[in-house]
Amino acid sequence: MHQMSNMGMGRASKRQAEILDFIGGFRKKSGYAPSLKEIAGHFDISIPTVHQHISYLRKKNLLTTEKGKRRSIQAFNDHKRGAVEIPLMGLIAAGGPIEAIRDPRPIEVPKNMLSAGANYYALKVAGTSMIDDGIFDGDVVVVRDQQTVDDGDKAVVYLPERDSVTLKRIYHENGKIKLVPANPRMKPFYETNVEIQGKVVGILRKEN
């Protein structure tokens, strides 16, 4: 968590307020911040213009960013929403399937990442197959425990024939399950026997 003072709090313009709302909504939905390119595309403005707005909002303590960190934009109010603990269950592959190590220990996640009435757990990611979805080696994914997902969802999948667990986007095709990486250098693969163990609802990045 970042500690920020109330000194310097200022009023944002209408567009800057819209950008703040977009960042907050994006983080709530995805678990990580939008890139400058994504903000620019949403508002149909240039990246330099987005950078100017972000710089102003940062100076006014309306949001924070971390130098050298990707997707680190966070609205000031997000720091005050508290956190809850869920179990960190071990390691999951975002590359070739590897065995998930079940070593439960608590990890704090933002409350606004979770919904009431559902069970959650976390897994640390190993590999680079999901980088285009903003999931990098060493990240922690927050997973809602559920046995079904929609096509295109990022899911934790157990592969009984390999006795391994992997993280991929899931699609149902002709009686088979297509597991799709988010990395152009890696190819999708098909399985007929899979067990869905949860849907990814957020991403946590460890700051060095």
Structure tokens, 170: 């899931």
Q: Which of 168, 176, 187, 206 is catalytic?
A: 168
Task: Pick the more confident residue, 8 or 165.
Answer: 165
Q: Which of 124, 129, 154, 199 is catalytic?
A: 129
Return residue ranges of the chain for CATH 1.10.10.10: 14-80
**What is the pLDDT at residue 97?**
59
* Across 67-76, 112-121, 126-135, 197-206, least confident range: 67-76
* pTM, 2 dp: 0.59
Active site residue 72: no
**What is the pLDDT at residue 7?**
31
**What is the pLDDT at residue 156?**
92
What CATH number has the domain spanning 14-80?
A: 1.10.10.10
Q: Report the percentage of the chain scoring pLDDT > 90.
A: 25
Structural domain 83-204, CATH architecture: Ribbon (2.10)
3-class secondary structure per residue, 32-96: CCCCHHHHHHHHCCCHHHHHHHHHHHHHCCCEECCCCCCCCCEEHHHHHCCEEEEEEEEEEECCC
